[in-house]
Structure 1
Amino acid sequence: MAKSNCKLVTCTFSLKGEHFDMRSCNPWTFLPIMFSVFTAVGLWVVYFIAMEDDRIVPLSSEYRQSGSKAPPFISNAGNAPPASCVFSQVVNMAAFVAFIIGVLRYLQLKPKVQKPFLNIGGLVTLSLACFGMTLVGNFQLANDKELHNFGTLMTFFLGSVFCWIQSILTLKINLCNEGWRAGIPRFLLSGAITFCMLLYFALKAQRLLMHAARTQWALVMFFLCYLGTFAVEFRHHRFEIVCSDDQEPQIRAEMEVSEFQSDQL
């Protein structure tokens, strides 16, 4: 709130959440869900645009090397205009929002951990994975194949590491007694992501391109689902941004008072 008769001007942005209730639900709860849904929809829009332009073969068909169409890898779908324009926009926005989710998750867990190396490691790995996403989105396969593939490797490998770190933290901290409820699905998704990543590179090395493309799409969808699960814990927190004219802006994450208790790592 700003007051003209005070020297200190403070602006506070506060969102409060309690139990999951559509009438009183913390709006931050919907950030991971909206991220997952809109990113998935955006990538499928890129796929259908490329299909409409006859640049890739359908995921349900067989790929013939002699044909003029490319196998339906996500990068091939977003390799040429107009699909490449949508692809760059979707991936860049996804990288930005995923980074915000990572920062909020770090702030959420920071007061609960005694040894912060895992929490810091999760933030660092996701940040680097998001940077890899920007390389994938801004350097199309046809323009810079090496840099594009390096960004893909960063995104897949570091993204999978981030998932395992967060799965471990979920069970260790048991935030608001949500540890098992959120932890088990996250471990299953982490296993699926890692399996799809290894299978993707193995199939691609053997030139089984259609199977590799299907595996890549499954990998990305699993990763989006994983980030969407942070809505479970986000509903218990409020994230407060405080700005003033004589000190640095501060961002705080506070747990809502409830009957739930949390363990510390």
Structure 2
Amino acid sequence: MWLWALLPVCLSVFGTVGIWTVFGIAVSNGSVNLTEGFPYISKCGTYNPQSCLFSQICNICAFLALWVVVIRFQQIRDFGYHGKANKISIVLGFISTFGISILGNFQQSVIMGVHLLGAFLAFFIGLAYFWVQLFLTYRTEPSQHKHWVGPARATGCTICTILVIIMSVLHNTGYRSWAAIGEWVLVMLFFFLFGLFAAEFKHIDYHHLIVQKQALSNCKDSEPVEMNGHMA
């Protein structure tokens, strides 16, 4: 069903347009100065009035992402996979979406420690979630698009992991403008990885009928028996 496939697409499009809108407002009103270096996303969203918009964008993205996480968990379970990886994925998904909400509502200019905690949960735990999803891509159905979804997801996860490492090094060595650019690319890739779920979600209209053994036994026990030419 294409209706479900639109959910991750809407998340990706809304999130991308939203944070770049915040960037545009921050540049236009002088909250950030591009001549001094490229700003972090959080810096763009820490000043009024765009801070209010940034908070709402993060909250909506967190809600949509949580919805995607839950649906993906249920989809994998409905297709017969009951391993620990799926349970781990929903826990990681819950934590990372909570982190998105935290970093959006606790701006770095207000409570830096809480903001950094939210960023850690959103980026690091979120990246772990996508690595688990890569594993599940090759372990569960539907597999109609596995030939391209798997490599695309693997490429995205690999680049994100490399970016996280490079960002940390650049930030700690004083190249914060380059680290900020890496952060923007990282977030765009996260939205890309969320958007890939559209390929799996369009198969949600498939249904499986499961008949329990106990119910089947009861049906057999209640079958009519012919006695003296009559059905009893």
Category of TM-score, reference length = shorter chain: 0.7 to 0.9
User: Is residue 166 of structure 1 aligned with residue 133 of structure 2?
Assistant: yes
1:3-56 per-residue CA deviation (whole Å, 9 max, x = no partner) reads xxxxxxxxxxxxxx2xxxxxxxx2111111111001100000000110011121
Tell me how far 1:114 sits from its aligned partner. 4.1
Letter in 2 for 1:41: V
From 192, 198, 214, the counterpart of 1:231: 198
Letter in 1 for 2:29: D
Among 178, 181, 185, the alignment partner of 1:211 is 178
RMSD, aligned α-carbons: 1.6
- Write the letter of the residue equivalent to 1:134: S
Unmatched tracts of structure 1, length 5 or more: 1-16, 18-25, 64-70, 239-253, 258-265
Cα distance between partner residues in 1 of 2:208 and 2:180: 44
Q: Deviations over 1:187-228 (max 9, x none)?
A: 000011111111111111111011000000000000000000
For the structure 1 residues 62 and 108, does the alpha-carbon distance in structure 2 shift closer, same or farther, using more than 3 Å as the test? Answer: same
* Alignment partner, residue 151 of structure 2: 184
For 2:13, the equivalent position in structure 1 comes to: 37
Q: Cα distance, 1:77 vs. partner?
A: 0.1
Matched, 1:222 2:189: yes
Equivalent of 1:48 in 8, 24, 29: 24
Q: Could you tell me how far 1:118 is from its partner in structure 2?
A: 0.5
Partner of 1:251: none
Code of the residue aligned with 2:200 in structure 1: it is E
Counterpart contact for 1:236–1:256, Cα < 8 Å = no
**Does 1:193 pair with 2:160?**
yes
**Identity among equivalent pairs (%):** 31
Deviations 1:104-137, CA, capped at 9 Å, x for gaps: 0000001334442101111111110011111101
* CA positional deviation for 1:154: 1.0
**What is the total number of aligned residue pairs between the two structures?**
209
Q: What is the match of residue 133 of structure 1?
A: 100
1:96 aligns with 2:63: yes
Question: SS where residue 138 of structure 2 aligns?
Answer: helix
The structure that has the greater radius of gyration is 2
> 2 CA distance for matches of 1:203 and 1:153?
17
Give the TM-score taking structure 2 as reference length: 0.86
Map of 1:57 onto structure 2: 33
Q: Take 2:125 and 2:33, find their aligned partners in 1: how far apart are those partners? A: 29
CA–CA separation in structure 1 for the residues paired with 2:121 and 2:135: 21
Indicate conservation of the 8 Å contact 2:76/2:141, yes or no. no
TM-score under structure 1 length normalisation: 0.75
- TM-aligned CA deviation for residue 171 of structure 1: 1.5
User: Which of the pair is proportionally richer in strand?
Assistant: 1
SS of residue matched to 1:177? coil
CA distance in 1: counterparts of 2:8 and 2:208, whole angstroms: 19
Q: Unaligned regions of 5+ residues in structure 2, if any?
A: 210-232
3-state SS in 1 of match to 2:170: helix
